[in-house]
């Protein structure tokens, strides 16, 4: 009888579909703290010497940060241990919680209402929209002094004429949707800090109460003063540093000088420390490639020693300009010299070249709530469009809010939801729809903040020394009920 019961239970576990696993809306540090023990794992290179007793210990500190100790036992019984600091950052940079830290509280109600309308439009996939974009990408410079092999600077240098975004053009774009825009990315195809007016543009965004993020390689001889970067109001700076030796680093960051990068990084971190500044959050981003896997852990150690806020690593993706025009497999094949083998745990692709990380295919959101502006003023439906002949218009010739309402965006939304035989710029979206699943509607109204997210965001901001208007928090939380 016992054998039959066990067999029945085994059959049930084999045939029942697993419940959908979802992330929590916010981190509860009191519940998270303590010891976590590993019962199973996918192979990870950094655990290759762990034979057993793998655990992670988290302890909440008085300053709101978290002490982290990771340890495991080797086969000979000796212990491997690594210590670090962690902080909760997941509620700060996205959507509704951004409204808590804005210096334009009078616009918060309008922006929150627009966001909710935009998220609904993303789901319903209408060709006509009543909302405005809540997320902008402004490429402040499409000039770059490096030639990274998978970037358009190396693969399609004739796609656009190189230039930098003027302050006047940036103000046009940032002022087009005052009651809508929550965040702006100041990067895309080039190096932002090669625009001498970049920090002036960032200051305007901060004055307008817009969360801003940029991404840089930091291999710049005459980088602006670290204090000027802090004073610009930038909230997040991502630094692409894929090695800890010049030999490894320059294999991908062709033309880059690692010593210069690290010196610039150290000056920024030290200036933040002297001023006790929370922003900008400084993130070290490490692209895992065929040649640099052995330097991930040393890079992590270096980032920790310097005092970097966030260290992030992961497998690189295929050649940028081709990504929306060819299949995953073809894109992987063209970029294989640099990408990780499909069997590597960090690879973005399986051994057949199929993209593994499919969450980004859950639904194209760009056409309903986002848009991109190139350094020359050209407007694109998303930040994967590089060639000028796919532009939907130019802010030099037409106001951005009018471009958003014009035929090209309407035709693109139709193309993304099934219309074919487009002859204008909207054929870009038709190509994307033909070779990937980017255009499926999101399964649910994701991205809308819950009361708990707003509450935890407020706690995090207050812990960081940023004042919160209680009446504004109450207003936003009440909106979450509808």
CA distance 39 to 55: 9
Q: What is the pLDDT of residue 344?
A: 84
Taking alpha carbons only, the member of 297, 340, 298 closest to residue 318 is 340
CB count in 10 Å sphere of residue 445:
12
Contact in structure between 321 and 152 (CB atoms under 8 Å):
yes
Tokens of 56: 């992670």
Collect the ranges in the chain with pLDDT lower than 70: 1-30, 42-46, 62-65, 85, 87-107, 320-328, 357-364, 419-422, 433-450, 453-454, 456-457, 460-461, 463-469, 472, 475-482
Number of residues in the chain: 482
Strands of 129-259 (E only): list them.
135-138, 183-185, 211-216, 236-240
Transcribe 208-244 into DSSP letters. TT-EEEEEE----TTPPPHHHHHHTT--EEEEE---S
Q: What is the pLDDT of residue 479?
A: 59
């Amino acid at each position: 009888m016992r054998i039959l019961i066990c067999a029945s239970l085994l059959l049930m576990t084999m045939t029942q579909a697993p419940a959908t696993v979802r992330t929590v809306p916010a981190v509860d540090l009191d519940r998270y703290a303590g010891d976590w023990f590993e019962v199973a794992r996918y192979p990870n290179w950094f655990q290759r010497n762990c034979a057993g007793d793998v655990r992670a210990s988290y302890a909440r500190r008085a300053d709101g940060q978290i002490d982290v100790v990771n340890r495991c036992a080797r086969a000979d019984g000796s212990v491997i241990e690594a210590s670090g600091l962690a902080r909760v950052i997941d509620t700060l940079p996205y959507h509704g919680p951004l409204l808590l830290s804005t210096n334009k509280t009078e616009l918060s109600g309008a922006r929150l209402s627009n966001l909710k309308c935009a998220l609904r439009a993303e789901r319903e996939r209408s060709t006509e929209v009543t909302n405005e974009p809540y997320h902008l990408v402004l490429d402040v410079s499409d000039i770059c002094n490096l030639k990274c092999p998978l970037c358009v600077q190396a693969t399609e240098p004739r796609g656009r004429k190189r230039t930098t975004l003027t302050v006047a053009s940036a103000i046009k774009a940032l002022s087009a949707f005052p009651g809508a825009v929550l965040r702006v990315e100041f990067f895309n195809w080039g190096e932002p800090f090669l625009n001498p007016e970049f920090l002036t543009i960032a200051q305007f965004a901060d004055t307008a109460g817009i969360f801003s993020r940029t991404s840089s390689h930091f291999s710049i001889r005459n980088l602006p003063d670290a204090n000027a970067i802090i004073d610009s109001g930038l909230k997040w700076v991502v630094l692409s540093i894929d090695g800890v030796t010049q030999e490894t680093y320059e294999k991908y960051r062709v033309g880059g000088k690692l010593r210069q990068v690290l010196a610039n990084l150290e000056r920024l971190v030290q200036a933040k420390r002297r001023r006790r500044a929370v922003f900008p959050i400084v993130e070290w981003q490490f692209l895992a490639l065929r040649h640099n896997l052995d330097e991930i852990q040393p890079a992590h150690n270096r980032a920790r020693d310097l005092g970097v806020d966030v260290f992030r690593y992961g497998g690189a993706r295929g050649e940028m300009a081709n990504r929306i025009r060819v299949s995953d497999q073809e894109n992987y094949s063209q970029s294989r010299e640099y990408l990780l083998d499909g069997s590597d745990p960090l690879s973005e692709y399986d051994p057949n070249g199929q993209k593994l990380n499919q969450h980004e295919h859950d639904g194209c959101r760009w056409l309903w709530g986002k848009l991109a502006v190139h350094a020359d003023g050209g407007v694109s439906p998303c930040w994967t469009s590089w060639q000028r002949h796919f532009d939907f218009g130019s802010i030099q010739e037409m106001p951005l809010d009018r471009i958003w309402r014009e035929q090209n965006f309407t035709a693109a939304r139709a193309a993304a939801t099934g219309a074919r035989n487009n002859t204008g710029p909207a054929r870009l979206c038709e190509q994307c729809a033909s070779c990937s699943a980017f255009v499926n509607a999101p399964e649910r109204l994701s991205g809308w903040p819950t009361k708990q997210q707003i509450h935890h965001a407020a706690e995090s901001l207050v812990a960081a020394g940023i004042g919160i208007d209680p009446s504004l928090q109450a207003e936003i939380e009440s909106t979450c009920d509808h």
